[in-house]
């Protein structure tokens, strides 16, 4: 990266600097590599450190960089593809090894969730919490609501609380014949509990993927998965394999 002066650039300096830094990430750095410190970067580009910080914050928001305590600013891995289509319908836990069960408890769900599940107000359901890992980092947290009527044989299973109990709930759920699933995606803000699991600040932008599982003519489970907006991208059916950019210049791909 050579010294670049931005005095004559009409657009905001930090935005143009962000573009230059993004190009440098493509050509000069590998995934996981630590960037030079702010003082060195600011000197190379001839900008104030405040301008540099704005550019770095924007690149972090876009998922190009990760700031890790005790490590520094590193080049982020490619975004995780989140398939939001319903072309491949599977039960949670059936074939998604990226997800790790954490806990299973019983609790009264929020009123909106209870209405979707068709359970009476005040009736407890099973709540399964899972996290999704990639490159050793959590990128999503899920809360799965399962009415007790959906897994009537669960009480006969001798499983302790925690991950084992969570796996038991999902295993019993798979005994039903999945008839379909509905899925919706919306942009949201990280709640305190999700932010802690995702190593983000409360209020950070997230993608909330809500999935309703249908069997026996009713909703038998409801998943609310919160994805880090800076590390995930949405895919639709067969387009999941499509890569618009892997941040590698064509010249390097051909070499």
Q: Indicate the pLDDT class of residue 237, thresholds 50, 70 and 90.
A: low
130 falls in which pLDDT band (50, 70, 90)?
Answer: very high
- From first CA to last CA, the distance across the chain in angstroms is 20
At residue 49, does pLDDT exceed 80? yes
Position 141 scores a pLDDT of 93
7 falls in which pLDDT band (50, 70, 90)? low
Checking if the pLDDT of 234 tops 60, the result is yes
Judged against a pLDDT cut of 70, whether residue 73 lies above it is answered with: yes
166 Cβ contact list (under 8 Å, min separation 6): 101, 102, 103, 104, 128, 129, 130
Mean pLDDT of 5-18: 73
Q: Which two tokens stand for residue 105?
A: 């408890």
pLDDT value, residue 96: 66
Please state, in angstroms and rounded to a whole number, the distance separating the CA atoms of residues 190 and 154: 32
| Closest C-alpha to 140, from 82, 198, 98, 94 | 198
- pLDDT over threshold 70, residue 117: yes
- Averaged pLDDT, 124-149: 91
Express each pLDDT in 164-222 by its tens digit: 899 999 999 999 999 999 988 898 888 888 888 888 878 888 889 999 999 999 999 99
The confidence score (pLDDT) of residue 247 equals 40
**Average pLDDT rounded to a whole number, residues 6-11:** 60
Residue 244 has pLDDT above 60, yes or no: no
Residue 55 CB contacts under 8 Å (≥ 6 apart), including other chains: 14, 15, 17, 18, 21
4-28 average pLDDT score = 78
Instruction: Please tell me the predicted confidence (pLDDT) of residue 176.
Output: 94
Structure-model confidence comparison of residues 141 and 26, the more confident one:
141
Confidence category of residue 114, pLDDT binned at 50, 70, 90: very high
Enumerate domains of the chain plus CATH numbers: 13-75 (1.10.10.10), 80-240 (3.40.1410.10)
Task: Check if the beta carbon of residue 209 is closer than 8 Å to that of residue 227.
Answer: yes
pLDDT tier at 223, thresholds 50, 70, 90: very high
pLDDT given at position 133: 85
Which of the listed ranges 84-93, 169-178, 227-236 does the model predict with the highest average pLDDT?
169-178
pLDDT tens-digit map of 17-26: 988 898 888 8
- Cβ-based neighbour number of residue 15 at 10 Å: 13
Residue 34 gets which letter from DSSP? B
């Amino acid at each position: 990266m050579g010294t670049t002066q931005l005095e004559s650039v009409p657009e905001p300096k930090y935005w143009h600097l962000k573009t230059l830094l993004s190009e440098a990430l493509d050509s000069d750095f590998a995934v996981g590599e630590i960037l030079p410190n702010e003082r060195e970067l600011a000197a190379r580009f001839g900008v104030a450190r405040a301008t540099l910080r704005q550019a770095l914050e924007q690149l972090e928001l876009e998922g190009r960089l990760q700031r890790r305590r005790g490590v520094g600013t590193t080049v982020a891995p490619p975004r995780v593809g989140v398939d939001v289509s319903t072309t491949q319908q599977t039960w949670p836990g059936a074939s998604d090894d990226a997800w790790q069960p954490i806990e299973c408890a019983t609790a009264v769900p929020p009123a909106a969730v209870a209405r979707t599940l068709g359970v009476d107000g005040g009736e407890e359901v099973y709540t399964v919490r899972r996290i999704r890992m990639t490159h050793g980092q959590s990128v999503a947290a899920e809360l799965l609501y399962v009415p007790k009527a959906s897994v009537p044989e669960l009480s006969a299973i001798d499983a302790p609380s925690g991950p084992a109990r969570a796996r038991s709930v999902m295993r019993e759920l798979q005994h039903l014949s999945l008839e379909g699933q509905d899925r919706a995606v919306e942009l949201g803000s990280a709640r305190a509990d999700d932010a802690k699991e995702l190593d983000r600040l409360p209020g950070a932008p997230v993608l909330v993927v809500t999935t309703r599982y249908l069997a026996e003519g009713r909703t038998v489970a409801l998943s609310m998965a919160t994805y880090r907006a800076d590390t995930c991208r949405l895919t639709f059916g067969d387009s999941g394999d499509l890569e618009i950019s892997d941040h590698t210049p064509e010249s390097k791909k051909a070499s």
